[in-house]
């Protein structure tokens, strides 16, 4: 009988000349998954019988191995044949591949999900070993996660809805290596609220420092991907950003984050007077109507401008991009008052990126952020609070566009 050759992953990797050889039909990953599944099934059989293969405990135990059955199953890399062990009593019921089960594509999804939670390759190895009793190589983990890179590229270019009632634009900075130097780069995020009131990350981009010209490219890309209209764009006070958005979407109303304005104002006020200053500010942004807000703004200006002109200046200068706030009911105001909608995503992405203080490339950073999107978006199953009231208001204000 011809001796079966051992499977050497490094030799097999050397044979891979194309991506098809790696992740395509009959590719290396497909073989690796098949080998691992067979090993896990053998370990399940050990537990079922109560002894290891070839162990003397099996003699006269009342049950033993009885050959194998070839079963065709499907995984994310195509179909493969695996050997499923049998026992003489016919009582073995494997849990990894249950009877009549033909699909195991969820396994590599689990590995990608672990990566999305911020686990390193080594930690994923340990987790799989503890959970499944199987040893997988760092190469296998990395190559399975590489699948997410291709998914990310498809996701980034997917068609978008024609209309988004609201979008939120923001950026967060990371350290990235480039040409041997460590640079601070902005990771740009565009989060939309769609017509169903559900949150959706429209795209992620990694670039240089946060500048309005980069946002122009982002808005142009959104338009190419099918977005025809945006009712409200919520942004920070980045110079030129409002004008940049209106170049691509002329009718979009720009709403500055109220919380940013408050923080930018309060830094010019001495601590002893800060409570009094905030009380006057609240009278503006918590006013029940636009006319009441404008009256309170005038009083605010009279009370504070002579002593602290810089604290007042941003409110006067930006009023056109603040006052649309008062067109909406409380439910919408809560959404656009703070950056909480998009900051909560940044918080989740921080859990994924916290294990890396410096990213080796833009692509690696983008991949990690995409995994964060993939992870957090699973929880975005319900519309934002008060959406029915908000949509009714949008219908009144933007009836023709809707």
pLDDT in tens, 86-107: 888 888 888 767 777 776 655 5
Q: Is the pLDDT of residue 253 over 70?
A: yes
Query: Between 209 and 182, whose confidence is greater?
Result: 182
Q: Is the pLDDT of residue 134 over 60?
A: no
Mean pLDDT, to the nearest integer, of 259-268?
88
pLDDT tier at 306 (50, 70, 90 boundaries)? very high
Q: With beta carbons less than 8 A apart as the criterion, state whether 254 and 242 touch.
A: yes
The predicted structure's pLDDT at residue 314: 87
Mean pLDDT, to the nearest integer, of 373-395?
85
**Summary mean pLDDT of the chain:** 80
Mean pLDDT, to the nearest integer, of 10-27?
59
The SS3 assignment for 13 reads helix
In 3D space, the residue among 273, 398, 268 whose CA is nearest the CA of residue 332 turns out to be 398
In 3D space, the residue among 123, 129, 160 whose CA is nearest the CA of residue 145 turns out to be 123
DSSP string, 256-284: E-HHHHHHHHHTTS-HHHHHHHHHHHHHH
The predicted structure's pLDDT at residue 5: 46
Q: How far is CA 380 from CA 37, 118, 148, 316, 339, in A?
A: 33, 20, 20, 37, 17
Question: Which are the contacts of 329, defined by CB distance < 8 A and separation ≥ 6?
Answer: 386, 389, 390, 393
Torsion angle of alpha carbons 259, 264, 265, 271, nearest 10°? 100
The SS3 assignment for 65 reads strand
Highest-confidence segment of 47-61, 117-131, 243-257, 369-383: 243-257
Phi-psi region of 60 (alpha: psi -120 to 50; beta: other; left: phi over 0): left
Q: Is the pLDDT of residue 389 over 80?
A: yes
The SS3 assignment for 307 reads coil
This prediction's pTM: 0.65
Q: Is the pLDDT of residue 176 over 50?
A: yes
Q: How far apart are CA 236 and CA 259, in angstroms?
A: 9
Q: Is the pLDDT of residue 170 over 70?
A: yes
The SS3 assignment for 198 reads coil
């Amino acid at each position: 009988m011809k001796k079966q050759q051992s499977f050497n992953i490094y030799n097999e990797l050397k044979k891979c000349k194309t991506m098809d050889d790696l992740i395509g039909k009959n590719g290396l990953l497909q073989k690796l998954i098949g080998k691992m599944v067979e090993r896990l099934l053998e370990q399940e059989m050990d537990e079922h019988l109560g002894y290891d293969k070839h162990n003397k405990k099996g003699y006269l135990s009342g049950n033993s191995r009885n050959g194998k059955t070839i079963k065709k199953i499907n995984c994310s890399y195509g179909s493969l044949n695996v050997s499923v062990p049998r026992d003489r009593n016919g009582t073995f019921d494997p849990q990894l591949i249950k009877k009549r089960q033909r699909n195991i594509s969820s396994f590599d999804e689990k590995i990608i999900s672990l990566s999305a939670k911020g686990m390193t390759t080594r930690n994923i190895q340990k987790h799989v070993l503890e959970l499944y009793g199987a040893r997988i190589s760092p190469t296998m983990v990395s190559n399975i996660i590489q699948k997410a890179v291709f998914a990310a590229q498809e996701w980034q270019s997917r068609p978008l809805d024609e209309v988004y009632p609201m979008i939120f634009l923001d950026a967060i900075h990371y350290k990235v290596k480039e040409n041997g130097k460590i640079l601070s780069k902005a990771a740009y995020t565009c989060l939309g609220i769609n017509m169903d009131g559900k949150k959706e990350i429209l795209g992620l981009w990694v670039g240089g420092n946060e500048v309005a010209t980069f946002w122009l490219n982002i808005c142009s890309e959104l338009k190419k991907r099918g977005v025809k209209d945006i009712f409200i764009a919520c942004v920070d006070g980045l110079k030129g950003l409002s004008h940049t958005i209106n170049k691509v979407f002329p009718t979009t109303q720009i709403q500055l984050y109220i919380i940013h304005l408050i923080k930018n104002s309060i830094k010019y006020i001495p601590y002893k007077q800060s409570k009094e200053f905030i009380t006057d500010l609240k009278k503006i942004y918590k006013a029940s109507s636009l006319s009441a807000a404008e009256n309170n703004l005038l009083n605010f200006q009279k009370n504070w401008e002579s002593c602290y002109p810089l604290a007042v200046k941003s409110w006067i200068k930006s009023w056109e991009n603040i006052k649309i706030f008062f067109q909406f009911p409380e439910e919408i105001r809560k959404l656009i008052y703070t950056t909480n909608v998009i900051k909560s995503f940044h918080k989740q992405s921080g859990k994924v990126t916290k294990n890396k203080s410096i990213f080796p490339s833009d692509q690696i950073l983008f991949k990690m952020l995409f995994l964060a999107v993939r992870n957090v978006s699973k929880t975005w199953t319900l519309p934002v609070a008060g959406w029915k009231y908000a949509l009714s208001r949008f219908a009144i204000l933007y009836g023709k566009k809707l």
